[in-house]
Amino acid sequence: MPLSRYAGAALLALAVATVTMSPAAAAPEAAEVNYVALGDSYASGTGAGNYSDAACTRSRNAYPALWADAHDPASFTFAACGGAKIPDVLSGQVDDLDEDTTLVSLSIGGNDSGFASTMLSCQYSTRSACERALETAGEYVVNELPGELDSLYATVRARAPHAEVVVIGYPYLYKEGGLCLGGLSSAKRTAVNQGSDLLNETIAGRAAAAGFAFADGRPAFSGHEICTSDAWISSSNIHPTAEGHKSAYLPAFSAAVSGT
């Protein structure tokens, strides 16, 4: 408490003479951040160019690298790799986690549910073939993916017990309605986006059960899907562009990280 204005002059002089600033009285420093980025091509930056690792398509334009550039963490390990599935994260990427890890980002589940083959069916086959592929993927997402995510998330927590973990969701790939020259029919686009909803809802639910934050990619890319005039997702490789990482994924991830 401050000294009363009625305190004697002698007492005030004594206090001034004896009080010194100690290290404990100084403003506390921000805790060190040791950040590890895990996941698949949507985390590594496939399609975003400026690759630091061509084999894994790790891009300097990807949101993990951009976040690290902006916040200068004490350490940054970019383990995400294009094409990764949950077993790949478990067999290699989680080895970069330890008790000193304070922040983890994770994007995974799309490849496990057959993203590549489903998109090929929807791009080059009939509507019925597209819908069958999405139905098969949906069965996996409902029946198998939750348990696989639970196992992965438990491993992440065990290896990084003190870390804040942010799970990143997938965006809608296509604008719905209207014409899309050179793109999918309106019916196919709606079906693909419905598949995105199912995948994201499953991932978000299991992340919440594990106590992890979830950054939703759907609102982040809203108005910038394939078939819009300013798309941040490439229609050729169906991945976020450099602008998509900078203007959509990076803000979504940053908002989910406490204190940023």
Tens-place pLDDT, residues 217-235: 999 999 999 999 999 999 9
Q: What is the pLDDT of residues 85-136, one digit of tens each?
A: 999 999 999 999 999 999 999 999 999 999 999 999 999 999 999 999 999 9
Going from the C-alpha of 129 to that of each of 3, 4, 173, 191, 252, the distances in angstroms are 80, 82, 18, 12, 34
The H or E element spanning position 69 is helix 63-71
**225's tokens:** 């899907």
Q: Is the dihedral of CA 183, 184, 185, 187 positive or negative?
A: negative
pLDDT at 97: 98
pLDDT at 260: 60
3-class DSSP assignment, residue 13: helix
Whether residue 212 is predicted with pLDDT greater than 90 in this model: the reply is: yes
- Residues with a catalytic annotation lie at 41, 239
- To the nearest whole number, what is the mean pLDDT of the chain? 89
Between strands 34-39 and 58-59, the pairing is unpaired
Strand partners, 76: 35
Distance CA 213, CA 225 (A): 24
Q: What is the pLDDT of residues 7-55, one digit of tens each?
A: 343 333 333 333 333 334 333 345 799 999 999 999 999 999 999 999 9
Distance CA 215, CA 245 (A): 13
pTM assigned to the model? 0.86
**Yes or no: domain 29-256 corresponds to CATH 1.10.3980.10:** no
